[in-house]
Amino acid sequence: MMLFLASFLALYFELVVIRYLSTEVRVFAYLKNLPLIASFLGIGLGMILGRVPKGLKRAFPIFAAELFLLIIYADRLGLTHMPFPNLDYYVWGTYANVGPPLFQMARFLGTVLAFIALVVVFFVVLGGLVGEHLAVLSPLSGYGINLAGSLAGIAAFTLLSSLSLPPFVWILVGFVAMVPFFFRQRVALGVFVIIALISAIPQPNTFWSPYYRIDLEEVPPPPGWPHPAAYLLSVNHDYHQKPVDLSTAFMARYPLAEPNHSARETYELPYELVRNPGEVLIVGAGTGNDVASALRHGATHVDAVEIDPVILELGRRYHPERPYDSPRVTIYVDDARAFFKKAKTKYDLIVFGYLDSHTMLTSFSSVRLDNYVYTIESLREARALLREGGSVVLAFATGREFVYERLFATLTSAFSTPPRAYFTGYDVDGVVFLEGTARSTQPGHFRELTATLQSARQTAIVATDRWPFLYLASRTIPRSILWVLVLFLAGSGLLVHRMIGLPSLTSRDPMHLFFLGAGFMLLETKAVTELALLFGSTWVVNAVVIGAFLTMALAANAFIIHRPISRRTAYAGLFVALAASTLFPYSTLDALSGPVKVLISGIVVGLPVLFSGLVFSRSFRDVEHPARALGVNLLGAIVGGALENVVMLGGTPVLGVLAIVLYGLSWVVASKQRLETAQPSVAPVETHAS
């Protein structure tokens, strides 16, 4: 029971820290999986030690308080919008750099590494708790309980997140589960209570969705108007959108009221170009501005697609024009890309609202929520939904030329004609792209950018499903990320060497488990990106992939307990499944029904995990020190997490190739270790089955 609870805590707090830290300190939303691999490092070291050092356990409340209080008060400490020192990766909402470049880099690296150090220490304790209780059980029984506890931790946090519960609940649940391990330390229990109470301090007009922290602020209405005419909505401390009243009655009475006046031309634009629209599709519907405009201009029906259920509900409750109450509107809580694949209706007008994410899809991947919406394949799917003479209006606002150039080039490739592009100035940097019939009408009050973007089209990188990085200036790993990774990996190596010694690690433990961990991490990233293309970039996909992977590992472990197979057979199945998964054309599943698509895609991404689990459990069965071996496996996952960044160079196919290479290294090392430990008296048939 205690091993189950310790394993629950390790995975549960891993998800809590990743989500909370990336929300409150924004650079961690773009450093992708760094908090994840830092937690793996801590858990791995704790398990390798096999216990929690007494001094560290006594000091644990201090480290826990430092970590969570720094997260809670990050905004007041000026950490929330700390900028990246380089501009090769676009980040929403960060402040301008101040001071010499060396100072900027030092501040950035110092802050990031300080947080990571706290994360590592926090999880060393949790990993040590797992190691202590794993040591008293047989390897496979202990591993099975460890997997079950980890799966329960993921399920618990996924449930809390899906219910849109705030961090106070996350922290409270975690610290309550920690009480059995610290019930004799009254100071620790007191600190846990204080952290929970501080996190529970009410924050008016703050909401939590499965994706974001959302803050809604009312804009005072003009004198004489009886209710709010606009709101400002922020996500993760960054401005995101503003629900505004653009009704005929309000604008006739207050034509210059802000922010309504500034927003009017942008939201009216599609209907200046497309008169009397019939069927309208709006992706990125948000709180409802685009939907309200479509209704005002006589749309017969509007399909409104929004991925975030809380943003949608806030629009339903607070938008001044109440567009979501109209019987002419059908609401879909879904990813835009997923909706394109499922839609059966043909549309006269498709509007891409200001569909820009402020976060990553998952801890395992560098792909943002909206990346797959702006690829050439996605835009072709949107084009296929147009009726004869239909139009597409795509609005975006970043202020980065390379993003506009990429969108222009990608639209040109998708529609076989260059779009017309206009600078609207909405939210300072707004640009709108027109395709289809709308291209033939020129809005005279906006400056045209078509010629400028056309001249840059030949050098612009087109966004594809294989390389969907809309916000990355070029095929490169941003220098800020590289520096952090280099320093983190170097520091991790020194820490491992000081605590357990690198030479003993390589000589006394089954090092092929290290490569299994690295390969498994890449498999997880690969599965998330592939299923995001099939089912949309939603939090459900992340939870299903992680849960399915642990379930497969649990099934493999149970199989090995009851019916052992040879390591050679397990490796053979693994390489066949890896090759099939890497070469499989997932796009062929789009035409299938939902249940069939789920079944086939689950089999394709799950089989490599099943065989990987068989290899691991077969090897883990015979280890002398289970906690140490499992820790080595987690340290391998750190390397796999760092290698995931290579995807920004070679695109998503590189994940499968790297996974095959890492599993190949695992097989080579395992074979060498088997030969070195083989005894002369062992019969050939037994050697074959080892």
Q: Look at residue 557 and tell me whether its pLDDT is greater than 90.
A: no
Say what the pLDDT of residue 513 is. 85
**Count of alpha carbons within 13 angstroms of residue 653, beta-carbon side:** 11
Domains located in the chain, CATH noted: 2-203+473-689 (1.20.1250), 258-358+376-459 (3.40.50.150)
Q: How confident is the model at residue 679 (pLDDT cuts 50, 70, 90)?
A: very low
- CA-closest candidate to residue 216, choices 64, 364, 319, 324: 319
- The two beta strands, 329-333 and 420-423, are unpaired
> Using CA atoms, how far apart are residues 341 and 581, in angstroms rounded to an integer?
21
> pLDDT of 254-300, one tens digit each?
999 999 999 998 899 999 888 888 999 999 999 999 999 999 999 99
- The two beta strands, 347-352 and 386-397, are parallel
416: part of which helix (H) or strand (E)? none
Q: How confident is the model at residue 685 (pLDDT cuts 50, 70, 90)?
A: very low
Q: Exposed, middle or buried: residue 317 (CB in 10 Å: 0-12, 13-18, 19+)?
A: exposed
6: part of which helix (H) or strand (E)? helix 2-24
CA 215-216-218 angle, to 5 degrees, is 150
Lowest mean pLDDT among 11-20, 344-353, 406-415, 675-684: 675-684
pLDDT > 70 fraction of the chain, expressed in percent and rounded: 89
> Using CA atoms, how far apart are residues 144 and 553, in angstroms rounded to an integer?
9
Q: pTM to 2 decimals? A: 0.87
Please tell me what DSSP assigns to residue 89: B
Q: Look at residue 678 and tell me whether its pLDDT is greater than 60.
A: no
Q: Average pLDDT over the chain, rounded to whole? A: 85
Q: How confident is the model at residue 461 (pLDDT cuts 50, 70, 90)?
A: very high
Q: How confident is the model at residue 507 (pLDDT cuts 50, 70, 90)?
A: very low
> pLDDT of 119-174, one tens digit each?
999 999 999 999 888 888 887 888 889 888 988 998 899 899 889 999 999 999 99
Q: How confident is the model at residue 682 (pLDDT cuts 50, 70, 90)?
A: very low
Lowest mean pLDDT among 69-73, 435-439, 484-488, 630-634: 630-634
Say what the pLDDT of residue 91 is. 66
Say what the pLDDT of residue 690 is. 28
> Using CA atoms, how far apart are residues 624 and 135, in angstroms rounded to an integer?
10
Say what the pLDDT of residue 675 is. 57
- Which neighbouring-strand residues pair with 351? 282, 393
Say what the pLDDT of residue 604 is. 82
Read off the pLDDT of each residue in 11-28 and give the average, rounded to a whole number: 90
For the chain, the 3-state helix, strand and coil shares in percent, each to the nearest 5, are: 60, 10, 30
Please tell me what DSSP assigns to residue 645: G
Q: How confident is the model at residue 458 (pLDDT cuts 50, 70, 90)?
A: confident
> Using CA atoms, how far apart are residues 664 and 221, in angstroms rounded to an integer?
65
Look at phi and psi of residue 574 and say left if phi exceeds 0, alpha if psi is from -120 to 50, else beta. Answer: alpha
Highest mean pLDDT among 331-335, 490-494, 510-514, 558-562: 331-335
> Using CA atoms, how far apart are residues 95 and 251, in angstroms rounded to an integer?
34
Q: Look at residue 508 and tell me whether its pLDDT is greater than 50.
A: no
Say what the pLDDT of residue 579 is. 87
> pLDDT of 190-203, one tens digit each?
999 999 999 999 88
Rg (CA), the chain: 27
Note the Cα 233 to chain centre separation in Å. Answer: 21
**Count of alpha carbons within 13 angstroms of residue 665, beta-carbon side:** 16
DSSP class per residue in 242-298: --B---HHHHHH-TT-TTHHHHHHHHHHHHHHS-S--EEEEES-TTSHHHHHHHHTT
566: part of which helix (H) or strand (E)? none
More confident residue, 561 or 297: 297
Say what the pLDDT of residue 142 is. 85
Cα distances from 655 to residues 148, 315, 575, 634, in angstroms, run 27, 39, 14, 19
* Residues across the chain: 690
**Count of alpha carbons within 13 angstroms of residue 267, beta-carbon side:** 26
Cα distances from 11 to residues 36, 147, 151, 374, 676, in angstroms, run 10, 10, 8, 33, 36
